Amino acid sequence: MTWLLFLEQCLNGLQFGLMLFLLAAGLTLIFGIMDLINLAHGSLYMVGAYLVASISQATGSFTLAIVLGVAATAAIGMALEVAVLRGLYRRDHLSQVLATFALIIIINETTRVIWGVQPLPLNVPGALSGSVRLFPGIDYPAFRLVIIAVGLAVALSLYFLVARTRLGMLVRAGASNREMAMVMGTDIRWLFTAVFGVGAGLCALAGAMLGPLLAVQVGMGENILILAFVTVVIGGIGSIRGAFVGALLIGIVDTFGRAFIPTGLRAVLSPSVADVAGPSLASISIYLLMVGVLFWKPQGLFPARG
């Protein structure tokens, strides 16, 4: 039976990793192209989840809620870029950290004002609430399979967008050498706003997909934000490919750590020690991974700047 468990954990890790990629893709581009540390990226994820949850409550349609929620969050993201973040590109990292930290505080409190302190219900749509028999002995929740499919589809489209279109070419040029791209006549202002809109939309999509599994509540953005930053740093700032590899790596390491480290340690150590060491080792595994990667490769796995 262990290989069945192993397979199931692989799928869980893949699913988590792909959702992390949705967040990290936007973050790494904003980081790499605009040279902006955007701590408020997780807030867009939260806003997206809240919008999708309340639209789906009002209309009864999960699909419609995703379309509207993603579009609305993209618009909010672009508005935020034009109103506040644009003024931060030329500033040092410290000012960016402070300003976007302030944005987190403002957006969190505004969310509490609008939606209250109670978590918002966001349910898996009825048609997807069952499970699918993948192999004899493995019943996997249908909704999680949909998450994997959506994640893969978005990753493929992003790859196509970045590698094969004119917009993607500009984005790559901007990430590898911003000044040169500007000198060559790229309209950077418009490009930045567009990238921000796409990043915010991806945040909302991740929020809509993870909302039914986790909880739609204030503070949900900060937890995942740090994971997204770890992903970006491991992958190499500004690299979409790095974000993809990093996200899957973190998804797998985190899922496997939580599933196997506590039981594994119990086989080696005394129960009282293992009960303390297991969960803590499982929850810090990804940070150890990050420290290890930065120790050997201080610029991450796939440095975008040549």
Partner 1 sequence: MAGWRRHAWLLVALAAALALPKIAAIAGQDFYVSFASRVLIWALLASSLNLLVGMGGMVSLGHAAFFGAGAYVVAILSVEAPGGSSALLVWPLAVAVNALLAFLIGAICLRTRGVYFIMITLAFAQMFFYIFTSLTPYGGDDGLSLARRLTLPGLDMAGDATFYYVVLAIFAACLFALGRLKASRFGRVLAGIKDNEARMESLGYATFRFKLVAYTVAGALAGLAGALMANQNGFVSPNMMSWDQSGIALVMVILGGLGSLWGGFAGATAFLVLEEVLSGFSAHWQIVLGLVLLGVVFYAPLGIAGLFARKPR
Residue 296, Cβ density class (10 Å: 0-12 exposed, 13-18 middle, ≥19 buried): exposed
Count other C-beta atoms under 10 Å from residue 85's C-beta: 22
| 93 lines the binding site for partner 1 (CB under 8 A) | yes
Shortest Cβ distance from residue 302 to partner 1 (Å)? 14
**C-alpha span between 7 and 159 (Å, rounded):** 27
Q: Where are the beta strands (DSSP E) in the chain?
A: 131-135, 138-141
Selected range binding partner 1 among 82-90, 160-168, 184-192, 244-252, rule: CB under 8 A: 82-90
List the one residue from 64, 79, 84, 142 that touches partner 1 (CB under 8 A). Answer: 84
Selected range binding partner 1 among 63-71, 179-187, 248-256, 271-279, rule: CB under 8 A: 271-279
| 114 lines the binding site for partner 1 (CB under 8 A) | no
**C-alpha span between 66 and 62 (Å, rounded):** 6
Shortest Cβ distance from residue 98 to partner 1 (Å)? 5
Name residues contacting partner 1, limited to 177-236 (CB under 8 A): 222, 226, 229-230, 233
Name residues contacting partner 1, limited to 129-168 (CB under 8 A): none
| 102 lines the binding site for partner 1 (CB under 8 A) | yes
DSSP designation for 270: -
DSSP designation for 202: H
Selected range binding partner 1 among 41-49, 65-73, 159-167, 278-286, rule: CB under 8 A: 278-286
| 94 lines the binding site for partner 1 (CB under 8 A) | yes
Q: Degrees (nearest 5) of the Cα angle 269, 272, 276?
A: 90
CB of 49 closer than 8 Å to CB of 210: yes
| 290 lines the binding site for partner 1 (CB under 8 A) | yes
Cβ contacts of residue 187 below 8 Å, gap of 6+?
Answer: none
CB of 160 closer than 8 Å to CB of 240: no
Interacting residues with partner 1 (CB under 8 A): 31, 37, 39, 84, 87-88, 91, 93-95, 97-99, 101-106, 108-110, 112-113, 222, 226, 229-230, 233, 237, 275-276, 279-280, 283-284, 287-288, 290-291, 294-295, 298-300
